[in-house]
């Protein structure tokens, strides 16, 4: 079973995504902060991380930088989640530095998100 870590400071989003991912046959874990995400990534080595960009204290980009610096976690694919009304081109440009990454704007359909997950881990 492929493990997916959901990182979002909004409890409702974490719970909805976890339920849908579990139902789809993935093993979903959650973290409510960037700091918690780093600990879970280093100890549980998820197959993919769904990473909210806008979080207090440590945003998704900062988490990505730390994950990519660490030889244990650098190969974990990341899908950034954002509700911000950012131009997709600016997000593409920013995440390009992290390697195997993609992004999706919230709210999104679960089918769209699942399609991106399948692209990375099946």
Where residue 107 sits, what CATH number does that domain have? Answer: 3.40.50.2300
pLDDT, average across residues 90-104: 72
Mean residue pLDDT across the chain? 90
Give 108's pLDDT tier (boundaries 50, 70, 90). Answer: confident
**Torsion on CA atoms 33, 6, 14, 37, rounded to nearest 10:** -20
pLDDT at 36 over 80: yes
Give the model confidence (pLDDT) of 3-21 as tens digits.
999 999 999 999 999 999 9
Give the model confidence (pLDDT) of 37-66 as tens digits.
999 999 999 999 999 988 999 999 999 999
pLDDT attached to residue 46: 98
**DSSP for 1-67?**
--EEEEE-S-HHHHHHHHHHHHHTT-EEEEESSHHHHHHHHHHH--SEEEEES--SSS-HHHHHHHH
Range of the domain at 63: 3-121
Counted domains in the chain:
1
pLDDT attached to residue 49: 98
Please indicate, yes or no, whether the overall pTM of this predicted structure exceeds 0.85.
yes
Give 110's pLDDT tier (boundaries 50, 70, 90). Answer: very high
pLDDT attached to residue 90: 65
pLDDT at 107 over 60: yes
């Amino acid at each position: 079973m492929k493990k997916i870590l959901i990182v979002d400071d909004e409890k409702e989003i974490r719970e909805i995504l976890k339920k849908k991912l579990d139902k789809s046959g993935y093993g979903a874990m959650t973290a409510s902060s960037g700091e918690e995400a780093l600990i879970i990534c280093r100890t549980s080595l998820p197959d993919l991380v769904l990473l909210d960009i806008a979080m207090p204290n440590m945003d998704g980009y900062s988490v990505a930088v730390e994950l990519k610096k660490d030889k244990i976690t650098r190969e974990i694919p990341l899908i950034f989640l954002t509700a911000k009304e950012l131009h997709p081109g600016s997000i593409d440009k920013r995440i390009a530095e992290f390697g195997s990454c993609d992004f999706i704007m919230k709210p999104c359909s679960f089918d769209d998100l699942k399609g991106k997950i399948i692209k990375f881990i099946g």
